[in-house]
Amino acid sequence: MKIKNPRTGQYYYEIFPPTFEELKDKTNFMRESQEVWKELGIEHRIKALQAWKEVVNEHKEELIDALCMDTGRKWETILEVDLVASSIERWSNISRDFFSIIERKTSSIPFLEIEQGYEPYSLVGVISPWNFPLLLSLIDTIPALLAGCAVIVKPSEITPRFIEVLQKTINHIPDLLGILNYVEGGGETGADLCKLTDIVCFTGSTETGKKVYQAACDNFIPIFLELGGKDAVIVTETADIERATSAILWGSVANAGQSCLSIERIYVHRNVYHQFLSRLVGKANLLQLAYPTMDSGQIGPIISEKQVAIIDNQLDDAFKKGAVLKAGSKKCEELDGGFYCKATILTNVTHDMKLMNEETFGPILPVMIYNTTEQAIDFANNTQYGLSGAVFADTEEEAMKIARKLKCGAVSINDAALTAVMHEGEKNSFKMSGIGGTRMGPSALKRFMKQKAYLINSQKVNDPWWFG
Ligand code: NAD
């Protein structure tokens, strides 16, 4: 399978996906290894991950280079690599706390007590997308390892260059041998993983998520799906416009809009619309493409060619239906074989346009006027997605009143896209944005364990319901 460089459009790398039989052998070995891993105890597992963290740090530059080749952008890549260490730190603390408590409690029957046990799933399959290749391949992997599972990860075939470097760091840690493995491959390998693992954590499109859900059903295993979004922001007439425009621009344009939690719809109260629009346009026009070098500007290339076609199609549809261009350009532009999209602001948008309904995954900011708070809430909720959203208002109270009515899993208040940087808040993905327990916050750890109740007749009294 040949892979293109997003900055040049040239093939620069090749991956060799494993056959089903090869994958089966690997997963069998991993299941055996996990028997030992789970018995090592939490402190030993934390030590192994801390040691891995050090090795990743030693290979930081190599990892950054590989990820830059995968994605064509730098700033976000550095952030991704830095997050490995902080994520291991955070999950180590959460797991230590979790495993230090043995839950023993009395029951409604006076002579019976309950001890709560947890049994880690043997093998977790992680399937991840291309927009944050490292971060999203690890977001479920680290807590799963600490819970006592073995984990096999299949990142996207669009951004696979980093796998080799990361696997090299894993191979330095003897305790992780057979416990953590990255494999290359596309959809077929992902589908194979769904047949060979005990639980699947999938991050990707809603379309593929449905297939993975079906496969998990056939295999009768639990599934966690983190899928697409169409996040809305509501800017009330009391909002600080200077603040709102800066935050929203970042929330829409960071990573060239290639984030599930990007702001993709902007609803602004009629009384502040013109002021808002002129500040947003002014700020958007200051942003530059990260071309000809990665350091040249803030907006890197669109990583996936397929996404370029989706963005162009949505823009074309919007202009045909009457949208007006206020900043940016009418389509993605090709520069030396890479495709780029400027921060693009559109007005005169309507809800029959694709870019107001379907996920765009590009730095496109459609701005629409609303008249009443109820209308803004209706607009924001009128989507098949329910990932996250944002509200700007003068007081927290006013913003929270609106936020409580939004049908999505996380709402940034007087800020935007905060789930990108804050992983502590427990949240579910609503509607077609996902299914399964929260991946963030302490309770996410429990996803990787089966609960087991030990029901103890601690006083050894005869049960009154026995026959004799
Ligand atoms: P995608 O669905 O095309 O692919 C995701 C992964 O699934 C890839 O590794 C791919 O090889 C694999 N895959 C493809 N077919 C499969 C199958 N039949 N069985 C198993 N695996 C299969 O998504 P993408 O284009 O890589 O990523 C972009 C999407 O991911 C966007 O929709 C975005 O919103 C979403 N996303 C969601 C979150 C979140 O946390 N909710 C985060 C990032 C990205």
Ligand 1 touching residue 223 (CB < 6 A) = no
Q: Whose CA is nearest to atom 8 of ligand 1?
A: 156
Task: Name the pLDDT band for 39 (thresholds 50, 70, 90).
Answer: very high
Task: Note the pLDDT of residue 422.
Answer: 87
Ligand 1 touching residue 129 (CB < 6 A) = yes
Q: What is the mean pLDDT of residues 294-313?
A: 97
Task: Note the pLDDT of residue 407.
Answer: 98
In a domain, 173, yes or no: yes
Ligand 1 touching residue 184 (CB < 6 A) = no
Please enumerate in sequence order all residues whose Cβ is within 8 A of that of 320, keeping only pairs 6 or more positions apart, or say none: none
In a domain, 444, yes or no: yes
Task: Name the pLDDT band for 102 (thresholds 50, 70, 90).
Answer: confident
Q: Whose CA is nearest to atom 16 of ligand 1?
A: 187
Q: How far is the CA of 127 from the centre of ligand 1 (A)?
A: 7
Nearest 5 degrees, angle CA 203-CA 429-CA 267?
110
User: Which residue of 153, 156, 193, 440 sits with most ligand 1 atoms within 8 Å of its CB, as the best mutation to test the pocket?
Assistant: 156
Residue 159 is part of a domain; what is its CATH number? 3.40.605.10
Task: Note the pLDDT of residue 94.
Answer: 96
Ligand 1 touching residue 181 (CB < 6 A) = no
| Residues 134 and 243 placed together within one structural domain of the fold | no
Q: How far is the CA of 128 from the centre of ligand 1 (A)?
A: 6
Ligand 1 touching residue 260 (CB < 6 A) = yes
Task: Note the pLDDT of residue 468.
Answer: 82
Nearest 5 degrees, angle CA 215-CA 354-CA 288?
100
In a domain, 461, yes or no: no
| Residues 340 and 396 placed together within one structural domain of the fold | yes
Task: Name the pLDDT band for 103 (thresholds 50, 70, 90).
Answer: confident
Q: What is the pTM of this model?
A: 0.97
In a domain, 104, yes or no: yes
pLDDT tens digit sequence for 336-348: 999 999 999 999 9
Residue 318: both structure tokens together: 């919007």
Residue 79 has pLDDT above 90, yes or no: yes
| Residues 118 and 201 placed together within one structural domain of the fold | yes
Task: Note the pLDDT of residue 36.
Answer: 97
Q: How far is the CA of 357 from the centre of ligand 1 (A)?
A: 19
pLDDT tens digit sequence for 186-244: 999 999 999 999 999 999 999 999 999 999 999 999 999 999 999 999 999 999 999 99
| Residues 37 and 52 placed together within one structural domain of the fold | yes
| Residues 384 and 410 placed together within one structural domain of the fold | yes
Nearest 5 degrees, angle CA 77-CA 251-CA 383?
120
In a domain, 464, yes or no: no
CA distance 75 to 312: 25
pLDDT tens digit sequence for 230-284: 999 999 999 999 999 999 999 999 999 999 999 999 999 999 999 999 999 999 9
| Residues 450 and 303 placed together within one structural domain of the fold | no
| Residues 378 and 442 placed together within one structural domain of the fold | no
Report the domain count for the chain: 2
Q: Which atom of ligand 1 is nearest to the CA of 260?
A: 34
Task: Name the pLDDT band for 456 (thresholds 50, 70, 90).
Answer: very high
Helix (H) or strand (E) holding 454: strand 449-457
User: Which residue of 226, 260, 427 sits with most ligand 1 atoms within 8 Å of its CB, as the best mutation to test the pocket?
Assistant: 260
Task: Name the pLDDT band for 454 (thresholds 50, 70, 90).
Answer: very high
Q: Mean pLDDT across the chain, nearest whole number?
A: 97
Last residue of a domain, one of 398, 420, 442: 420
| Residues 246 and 343 placed together within one structural domain of the fold | yes
In a domain, 410, yes or no: yes
In a domain, 334, yes or no: yes
In a domain, 368, yes or no: yes
Range of the domain at 235: 231-420
Please enumerate in sequence order all residues whose Cβ is within 8 A of that of 9, keeping only pairs 6 or more positions apart, or say none: 305, 334, 337, 338, 339
pLDDT tens digit sequence for 367-422: 999 999 999 999 999 999 999 999 999 999 999 999 999 999 999 999 999 999 88
Q: What is the dihedral of CA 337, 342, 345, 351, to 10 degrees?
A: 30
